[in-house]
Amino acid sequence: YQQNPKTYAIVKQLLAEGNAGELQKYFGSRMEFGTAGLRAAMGAGISHMNDLTIIQTTQGFCRYLEKNFSDLKKRGVVIGFDARAHPSSGGSSKRFARLAANTFISQGVPVYLFSDIIPTPFVPYTVTHLKLCAGIMVTASHNPKQDNGYKVYWENGAQIISPHDKGISQAIEENQEPWPQAWDDKLIDSSQLLHDPYAMVNKEYFKDIQKQCFYRNINKETSLKFVHTSVHGVGHKFVQLAFKAFDLSPPFAVPEQKDPDPDFPTVKYPNPEEGKGVLTLSFALAEKDGARIILANDPDADRLAVAEKQESGEWKVFSGNELGALLGWWIFTCWKNNNRDARAVKDVYMLSSTVSSKILRAIALKEGFHFEETLTGFKWMGNRAKQLMDQGKAVLFAFEEAIGYMCCPAVLDKDGVSAAVITAEMASFLATRNLSLSQQLKAVYDEYGFHITKASYFICHDPKVIQQLFDNLRNFDGKNTYPKSCGRFKVSGIRDLTTGYDSSQPDQKAILPTSKSSQMITFTFANGGVATMRTSGTEPKIKYYSELCAPPGNSDVEQLKKELDELVNALEKHFFQPEKNKLQRKTE
């Protein structure tokens, strides 16, 4: 009895070969449902994304929602998908989205299923806009082409946080037998419960982001040219529409990358965070068309990378922290110009994750608004933003160093479409003052203090080695002692969000929530440096993030960079010990 002939054939072949090792890989353990939902390769077996595992996941999610919302059958859910596909197993984002819709509809739950590919931020937008109970986005963002994912939003329009992941995970375990007609997704096409929000959201979203458009006349007149790439993902059409909504001339689209292609043929990794490799074609087009600024989205258009041609002819790719500094400065400046009441600033907030640059804290201190840091990941910033907004506060901006920006309160998650067009307006405005983005970034640092950051990672496939590395840091000079120095750098504070210890708090307890299941230690140094080491939730990596914050007036940037480089070298040598632990360096 077979429902998907392709995955059935893969398994049958392995059985015929008696390949126990591969079968163990496919069926040994189920994909774990966490706060990021699911993320795994497409293929056969319960460890992969396929028709069956999508049905089982959605059945569990549906039961969990029924338990939490008495009005689920009145309000419903939204489902979106990107352009990923995996011909050899028959899996695709669209197929998975339709199967998920079928599951809900079979239980009498209304489903708002987008009829075509969309950017990830459109799902949280729709949850909020239509007051739905939940949202699902089928995407693996910037992961390799064989991967897919299942990302879940709660009724507040933010990604789920604990304990929902545990509750959903348990409900999946309890609902593994596919319900009758679970595979027959054609049933949804004739259902009264199926709605298509595509046209409505394409109108309303672009109306809502125009609240962040402040210089329409400059936009109309600007001679600045932009190149945009969607890196074979979903972003092209939507960034074009965003430019139109702001009265900007459309950006030049990189022709080889503008149409969705699940093979991502022109890039090694479809991740603009990897820097210049992904932007090679963009640089060439910009040179040809005389564009000074490149805007690059990742394949599901929730992140944004920006590059600018310098006076020297070199291209500068801004880090996530640098763009965060620029957008934070810009969004606050626009807010200030439009709010003459001096007292209103007391209700203004900006957020960033704890591994991102503290530049917003410096701006907030000087300008009088509030800055808060959250745990890593937009789920925390989205949920905190919603809490603050419910208390009548204005959350103007949130960002993370992994090129994620929330510039618009209509989406409580990172959004690369609104970030792209707001960056374009900022650049157009600065051009009327004869300033480049790089020059303005320096001006921000001159005014609020230089914040220099450096981040990287080591790859480690052995969880025991990772555990040992962090245990070593917690028992550095004997049992339960953290390092007092790192090479020549004196440690002045420790915060361990795995155990909940924070040396700077009177009761030694950390303020941010702790999680025993992931590793994360932050060291503060006497020289004003901060470094965080943490494990990744989705990849076999140990990441580090370092920053040197100087007070305003200290403008010897080269000296600061040198100091940070030395701190990072000491961190790698003494705390990571790559040779001893056989860690693989990030390759450029």
The span from the CA of 105 to the CA of 126, in Å, is: 18
Three-state SS for 8? helix
The beta-strand segments (E) located in 320-430 are 348-353, 370-374, 394-400, 404-406
**Structural tokens at position 541:** 């990596």
Beta bridge partners of 563: none
Nearest to 552, CA basis, from 440, 451, 436, 456:
451
User: For residue 89, what are the contacts with CB-CB under 8 A and spacing of at least 6?
Assistant: 4, 6, 7, 10, 42, 43, 44, 48, 50
CA separation (Å) from 181 to 78, 106, 112, 185, 531? 21, 8, 20, 8, 53
Buried b / exposed e across 455-480, counting CB within 10 Å, b at 16+? bebbebeeeeebeebbeebbebeeee
Q: Is 178 exposed, middle or buried (0-12, 13-18, 19+ CB in 10 A)?
A: middle
How many whole angstroms separate alpha carbon 189 and alpha carbon 196? 11
Query: Quick one: which of 284, 302, 289, 6 has its CA closest to 143?
Result: 302
- List the beta bridge partners of residue 531: 523, 546
User: Which amino acid is residue 216, in one-letter code?
Assistant: R
For the annotated catalytic residues, the residue numbers are: 141
DSSP 354: T
Please spell the DSSP secondary structure of 272-297, one letter per residue: GGGTHHHHHHHHHHHHHHT--EEEEE
Bridge-based pairing of strands 293-297 and 226-229 is: parallel
Would you list the DSSP string of 283-347? HHHHHHHT--EEEEE-TTSSBEEEEEE-TTS-EEEPPHHHHHHHHHHHHHHHHHHH---GGGGGG
- Classify the C-alpha dihedral 35-40-46-52 as positive or negative: positive
